[in-house]
Amino acid sequence: MPRSVFAALFLLALVMPAAAQAQPEGPNLFAGALTISTPRGEFDDNTDTGFGFTGSYVRSITPNRVVGVGLSGSFMGYGSTRRRAPLSNTIPDITVDVETSNNTAFVLGLFEVRVPGRIQPYLQAVAGGGFFYTTTSLEDTRTDEVIISDTNQSDATWVWGGGGGLRFRVWESTPDPQQAAPDREDSPLLSRVHVDAGVRYLKGSEVEYLKEGSLVTDDGEFDIDPRLARSEIEVVQYQIGVTVTF
């Protein structure tokens, strides 16, 4: 990850006041976001833009809710093909839908520094594992029910990166006025909801994966090995979602 990301994280942590808000929010943060993943470099030559979702949990480790650690997971599909084919060569009069999906999943440890307030800028550093796999399923042509499925190819690699964004508060719980005095040690913690817009850069080691449509040759025969792609991983993820603190 670029050194500038680490420098920004430490600078943001140093400039935070000891008490950033009179009425603190809870130490737990859950986030869910729709995600668009755009490949970069050689990875861009072999894959398309991915669409999926990201979920995160962050636990504050400082009383002022500035620094937190947690986990983040995301799932995205970067390509799929669908065709209708006979169930078998010996039963050509029964057809099924054959769908092949190319997917990625990331499981990451997360370190976050944020500025508490109604508008919260934040920076994150992440590292963990990236998983790439292609599955094929047979589906009923009338109900789309999956009859059988299998994983055609899978591989994994280490990934690391960083990012940031802004959270905009849209809701806040209302505490009991008699218990809301900020100088009281037992003052209740607030629950808050934010709209969250962010971006994340991920880079990883070399991995093998299948391109979209690479399981079927021109004559319709099944083939894998000659069509395996290999490259380092480099993606930028754009996220829009909601966070809840309590």
Report CA 19 to chain centroid distance, whole Å.
Answer: 31
Question: Given this model, what pLDDT does residue 222 score?
Answer: 56
Question: Given this model, what pLDDT does residue 80 score?
Answer: 82
- Give the integer Cα–Cα distance in Å for 21 and 236: 33
pLDDT tens for each residue of 150-188: 888 899 999 999 999 999 999 988 766 555 554 444 456
Residue 219 has a CB neighbour count (10 Å cut-off) of 6
Q: pTM for this structure?
A: 0.80
Strand partners, 221: none
Closest CA to 126 of 6, 246, 17: 6
pLDDT tens for each residue of 21-45: 445 678 999 999 999 999 999 899 8
Helices (runs of H) and strands (runs of E) counted in the chain? 2, 8
User: If the chain, 246 residues long, is cut into consecutive pieces of 10 residues, what is the mean pLDDT of each piece?
Assistant: 53 47 76 97 89 97 92 92 78 80 95 93 97 88 81 93 96 69 55 96 93 61 65 96 95
- Give the integer Cα–Cα distance in Å for 78 and 49: 6
Q: What is the CA radius of gyration of the chain?
A: 23
